[in-house]
Chains A and B, each alone.
Chain A
Amino acid sequence: MEWTMILTKLGEGMLVSIEIFAWTLLLSLPLGLLVAFGRMSGNVFLRGFVKFYISVMRGTPLMLQLMVFYYGPFLLFHVSLPGGYRFIAVLIGFLFNYAAYFAEIDRSGMESIPKGQYEAAAILGYSKAQAFRKIILPQMVRRTLPAVTNEMITLVKDTSLAQVISVSEMFLAASAIAAKEASMLPLFAAGIFYYVFNYLVALSMEWAERKLSYYR
């Protein structure tokens, strides 16, 4: 293969990995918050269901979940989905998996806010939604930032799992080229990609933490 060809293939894989990362992060953070509310709901059934969902997502391999989401519709219901579904299945799998982790982080964050903050807001007449948005959420974000950073770093590496349903992300692209060319170089390039990606994630989260540390 030509150099330009190799670079194009690697570049495409890289883009797919970045796409999985960005979509998962963008969608699973808000979904995780919703799940956290469900987890803390006064409704026993909702709470129980959400607790079960979280335990399944955290208790089984993400790789398995991806396969279930991709092959499930056909094997269970004999629905055959268009080719584009491959990528959708990856997103659904990552979304539900990461939302479960973020939900637990959010829950512990919310529970770590002193009760007095809720009470002060209630006395001042804030509605529940206003109190959450203006008083609780900002403090929660700051407290959960280190844990969220950890998840983000794991997510960068987890994107390589998309290969189990043949989504050609960075890792699959690199290993395919490595096999064809009988060279370590593509794998080395993939390693550098993940490392640099995570370095940037860590750097920007450090910056965010610094930004938010104007109070104690």
Chain B
Amino acid sequence: MDRSNKAAKQMDRTKHVGRVKEKMMVMEIRHMQKSFGNRKVIRDLSLNVEEGQVTAVIGPSGSGKSTLLRCAALLDPMDSGELLYLGQHAAVTNADGKVVYAHRKKMKEIRSSFGLVFQNFNLFPHYSVIRNIIDAPMTVQKKSREEAYWAGRKLLSRMGLSDREDSYPYQLSGGQQQRVSIARALALNPKILFFDEPTSALDPELTGEILEILRDLAAEHRTMVLVTHEIEFAGNVADQMVFMDDGAIVEQGSPNEILNHPKQERIKTFLNSLKRRRKGICY
């Protein structure tokens, strides 16, 4: 009796776990379109991101990678399509073809589910390093100063910046500033983190320290979307890779499929041009 009960419970639990594990979509983009003036920048793009998955987005300059992230992060309005976070609609296109965004209260909740790390950090220059990290948890999430502070200290030590708590952004190197901005994003504990070329503004010798942190975050199965030109690195950490060109996803698959066995000629050309460029720089 006791045992069967236990077994039943066990079964229940596995069923429960099974349900949760069943590809929970953190973000869904359906048929997104976006133009700047007459210029179509995103063309009917759909993309799903599962919980715990690292998605790398690669593609030539001007292909719309940043625009995709900016629309997903609600910084730019999209022209049509659907956007969902954790199964909740942030935006839908109604019968008239107009995009309708969620109402304020819902939107606030949806906004809290994602974070974005910018290429050029965008730290708050008038706040110290620790204040940059804890101000949003205090202001937005209404955490107490103590709670926010201790969480912030933990993040700082993880970023290797324990001794820079009271520095101001201008006193830090680019790599250190980017680490602070990653800590700032993590402090709000978002369900999904977007990175838009987080190493592009850095000197080559500083990119390593950021990539190491990204590798760390990937290893703990944080859900991330990473736009990057660091193809090799992306291949190593990503679960799925997306190749974008001219506003559309040209091919999507495992890094191995995209990098080593691409079906599309465009990807081969792109990868070759990258290799050539890298050689040009190295030798």
Binding site for B on A (CB under 8 A): 114, 116-117, 119-120, 122-126, 130, 134-135, 138-139, 142, 214-216
B135 lies within 8 A of A134 (CB): yes
The CA-CA distance from A155 to B120 in the complex, in Å, is 41
B152 at the interface (CB under 8 A from A): no
A214 and B168 form a contact (CB under 8 A) = yes
B-side residues, CB < 8 A to A, are: 73-75, 108, 111-112, 114-116, 118, 120, 122-126, 135-136, 139-141, 168-170, 184-185, 188
Q: How far is the CB of A212 from chain B (nearest CB, A)?
A: 8
Q: A116-B118, A215-B168 are in contact. Are A125 and B126 (CB under 8 A)?
A: no
Chain B residues near A117 (CB, 8 Å)? 122, 124
Task: Point out the residue from B123, B136, B169, B170 that lies within 8 Å of A126, measured CB to CB.
Answer: B136
A216 contacts B170, CB within 8 Å?
yes
> With A and B bound together, what is the CA distance between A27 and B136 in angstroms?
31
Known pairs A130-B139, A215-B168; A138 contacts B126 (CB<8 A)? yes
Q: List 17 A-B contacts (CB under 8 A).
A: A117-B122, A117-B124, A120-B118, A122-B74, A122-B75, A123-B73, A123-B114, A125-B112, A125-B136, A125-B141, A126-B139, A130-B139, A135-B124, A142-B126, A214-B168, A216-B125, A216-B170
Given A125-B111, A125-B112, A120-B125 contact (CB < 8 Å): no
Least CB distance from A208 to B in Å reads 14
A120 contact from B122, B141, B168, B170, Cβ within 8 A: B122
Given contacts A130-B140, A134-B135, A215-B168, contact A123 B126 (CB under 8 A): no
- A119, A120, A122: most-surrounded residue (chain B CB, <10 A): A120
Q: Which DSSP category, helix, strand, loop or mixed, fits chain A's interface?
A: helix
When the two chains form their complex, are residues A215 and B169 in contact, meaning their CB atoms are under 8 A apart? Answer: yes
On chain B, the residues within 8 Å of A123 by CB distance are: 73, 75, 111, 114-116, 185
Give the Cβ gap from B254 to chain A, nearest Cβ, in Å.
30
Given the contacts A119-B122, A139-B125, A215-B170, A125 and B108 also touching, CB distance less than 8 Å:
yes
Q: Closest 8 A-B residue pairs measured CB to CB?
A: A116-B122, A120-B122, A124-B136, A216-B170, A125-B140, A215-B168, A123-B116, A215-B125
How far is B123's CA from A126's CA once the two chains are assembled, in angstroms?
14
- Residues of A close to B73: CB separation below 8 A: 123
Bound-state Cα–Cα, A135 to B136, Å: 11
Q: How far is the CB of A115 from chain B (nearest CB, A)?
A: 9
